[in-house]
């Protein structure tokens, strides 16, 4: 991707990545968990979780989160995306139908799984991060300055 912008790399890496480490905080105590995710064209990040998990409960109290997405981490080559943003439970039925499709397609969950989720027949809910800041750590594409920052 010669001469690509930071935004183009962020978009590429969000599509390539599969796992997101989310950092939350409550009463000054940080917490981190790992989830599978999908993203949309607006760079919002979606995942599913049970509402009673620690990170879900903390997001209900404090929407500010941080995240980290590993892209490449072998042969001493590290590429990753870090982010800051605001997380929330997605409540709109129409938005759940639209955005859950991204997740279902990315992970080949199938129509039965999708329809069951949309119908509320499981304990999981759809969550979203609206990023405010992306930081790419990329020694391959930015060897002279491998930390690239993009504020939205």
Count structural domains, the chain.
1
Residue 144 lies inside a defined structural domain of this protein: no
Residue 70 lies inside a defined structural domain of this protein: yes
Which CATH number does the domain housing residue 105 bear? Answer: 2.30.110.10
The full 3-state SS of the chain, as one line of letters, equals CCCCCHHHHHHHHHHHCCEEEEEEEECCEEEEEEEECEECCCCCEEEEECCCCHHHHHHHHCCEEEEEEEEEEECCEEEEEEEEEEEEECCCHHHHHHHHHHHHHHCCCHHHHHHHHHCCCCCCEEEEEEEEEEEEEECCCCCCCCEEEEEC
Residue 22 lies inside a defined structural domain of this protein: yes
Domain that holds residue 53: 6-137
Note the pLDDT tens digit of each residue in 58-100: 999 999 999 999 999 877 788 999 999 999 999 999 999 999 9
Residue 65 pLDDT: 98
Note the pLDDT tens digit of each residue in 21-70: 999 999 999 999 999 999 999 999 999 999 999 999 999 999 999 999 99
Residue 152 lies inside a defined structural domain of this protein: no
Average pLDDT over residues 103-119: 95
């Amino acid at each position: 991707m010669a001469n690509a912008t930071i935004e183009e790399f962020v978009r590429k890496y969000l599509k390539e990545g599969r796992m997101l480490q989310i950092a939350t905080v409550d009463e000054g105590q940080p917490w981190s968990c790992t989830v599978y995710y999908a993203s949309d064209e607006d760079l919002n990040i979606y995942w599913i979780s049970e509402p009673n998990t620690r990170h879900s409960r903390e997001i209900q109290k404090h929407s500010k989160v941080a995240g980290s997405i590993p892209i490449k981490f072998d042969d001493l080559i590290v590429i990753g995306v870090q982010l800051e943003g605001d997380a929330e439970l997605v409540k709109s039925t129409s938005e759940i139908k639209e955005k859950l499709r991204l997740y279902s397609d990315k992970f080949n969950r199938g129509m039965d799984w999708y329809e069951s989720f949309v119908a509320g027949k499981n304990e999981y809910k759809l969550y979203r991060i609206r990023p405010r800041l992306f930081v790419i750590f990329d020694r391959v594409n930015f060897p002279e300055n491998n930390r690239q920052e993009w504020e939205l």
